[in-house]
Amino acid sequence: MAYLVKQIENSHVVWFEKSNQWVKLDEPQWFIFLLYEKQTLRKEAVKQFAEAYELSTEQAAEVVSNIYDSIDKLLNPDFALPDFSRDAEEVSRIKLRESRTRHYRHFEKYFSITYGSPSLEAYIHLPFAHLETKAAGKQIFHLDVFPYCGRYALRLHTPMIRSMTADESPQIKRLLFVELASWLYDKTEKQWMSFVHASAVQKDGKVLLLSSASGSGKSTLAGLLMLQGFDLFSDDFVPVSAADTMLYPFPAALCIKNESVPMLESMGLPPSVKSKTTPVAYVKPTQENLIPNAAPATIFVFVNYKKGAGMKLEPVSVPEALQLFHPEAWVGDNMERAEKFIEWFSDLEFYRLEYDDNTLAVQAMETLLAEK
């Protein structure tokens, strides 16, 4: 069995390599896991579990069966991890007939993206619109992104053409972001430990990570903090290095939506570009001329904007934080990166913020960071 175990507080966290899943086990579940690990037959496991926890045979059998079945599926998943190399050779040979190329500059690095459809252009270009330049410069890195047979394709013009495909547009966008981050910082994909779906802001060398599902208020809160002197570090995509667990800034603009657009604009944070078809806008970083530096994570806050909530801020245990974190991040799918990740994650400080009062939420975040 290929898995990794880490005891955190009163729980055990287990990572299963084949399914790339993290699972928190409480004490009774850990008892059953150890029986499974010893290849104890179910009948005997039921007997031992019933005796240890003073349960009836029927009660113990139900729990043991559920845990054994779950471990079976985690070790031998009935799903395949995404294969982004499918049809790569054919994609590499395709000639784009209708396309548009845009050029970008991030400090002294230039890159260009050729878009094979207007929808992909609108989806991917707008976060980089503030970086656009009229002509390509030196150190050029070129990417093509285009529809392919009902799916999406990404093609990289490195010394040798390299291609990837994905079923969904968010997947192809993430792949493009990964390749761009790797090029900007002279790394390979394997040198990243994780990519976190969070809005990250920075002040006085300290980085605050705001994480949540889309539409839960993290980007709006990041914008409010920018109005109070915080710098945008990254939005929605935060690369974490495997070598030193440092966070690296990514140059995409802050994405704000719906009523947050006019609210932030009226407060003095105007968008640099707005979508023509959806209520989405992008706010460029306020520190455009400052060379971005990697920084350690200081505090991690799980954000949820909820009307009627007032302002509730509470600490979150590491095991619970892992359950909240995993759906909002990608973590490297090999043992070395998994070990590095859980050691890094175990040392972080986590909070849950539920709010509908912007002023109180901003004050709470400023206080949290000032105390570190």
E strand or H helix that includes residue 59: helix 57-75
Q: Nearest CA to 217 among 302, 127, 325? A: 302
In this structure, are residues 302 and 352 in contact, taking their beta carbons and an 8 Å threshold? yes
Domain end position, chosen among 166, 184, 202: 184
Is the pLDDT score of 16 beyond 70?
A: yes
Same domain for 197 and 179? no
What is this structure's pTM? 0.89
Same domain for 215 and 361? yes
Same domain for 199 and 117? no
In whole angstroms, give the CA distance from residue 7 to residue 250. Answer: 33
Q: What pairing do the DSSP bridges indicate for beta strands 297-305 and 350-355?
A: parallel
Is the pLDDT score of 289 beyond 60?
A: no
Same domain for 24 and 159? no
- Spell out the alpha helix ranges (H) of 76-217: 88-93, 118-125, 169-184
The mean of the pLDDT values for the chain is 91
Same domain for 178 and 105? yes
In whole angstroms, give the CA distance from residue 361 to residue 66. Answer: 41
In whole angstroms, give the CA distance from residue 42 to residue 61. Answer: 8
Domain end position, chosen among 152, 184, 216: 184
HEC string of 251-275 equals CCCEEEECCHHHHHHHCCCCCCEEC
- Number of domains present in the structure of the chain: 3
Where residue 274 sits, what CATH number does that domain have?
A: 3.40.50
What totals of helices (H) and strands (E) does the chain contain, helices first? 11, 21
Same domain for 274 and 135? no
- Residue 242 per-residue DSSP state: T
Decide if 80 is inside a domain: no
Amino acid, single-letter form, for residue 204: D
Same domain for 95 and 243? no
Decide if 267 is inside a domain: yes
Between the CA of residue 304 and those of 173, 224, 351, what are the distances in Å?
25, 15, 11
Same domain for 286 and 248? yes
Same domain for 201 and 305? yes
Same domain for 139 and 230? no
In this structure, are residues 99 and 143 in contact, taking their beta carbons and an 8 Å threshold? no
Decide if 82 is inside a domain: no
The values of phi and psi at residue 354, to 5°, are: -120, 125
Taking residue 56's Cβ as centre, other Cβ atoms within 10 Å add up to 9
pLDDT in tens, 80-123: 667 777 777 888 888 888 899 999 998 888 999 999 999 999 99
In whole angstroms, give the CA distance from residue 46 to residue 26. Answer: 17
Same domain for 261 and 291? yes
Same domain for 69 and 98? no
pLDDT in tens, 144-178: 999 999 999 999 998 889 999 999 999 999 999 99
- State whether the Cα torsion 25-30-36-42 is positive or negative: negative
In this structure, are residues 47 and 31 in contact, taking their beta carbons and an 8 Å threshold? no
CB-facing half-sphere around the CA of 142: CA atoms within 13 A: 15
pLDDT in tens, 264-288: 999 999 999 998 888 899 999 876 6
Residue range of the domain that includes 224 = 193-370
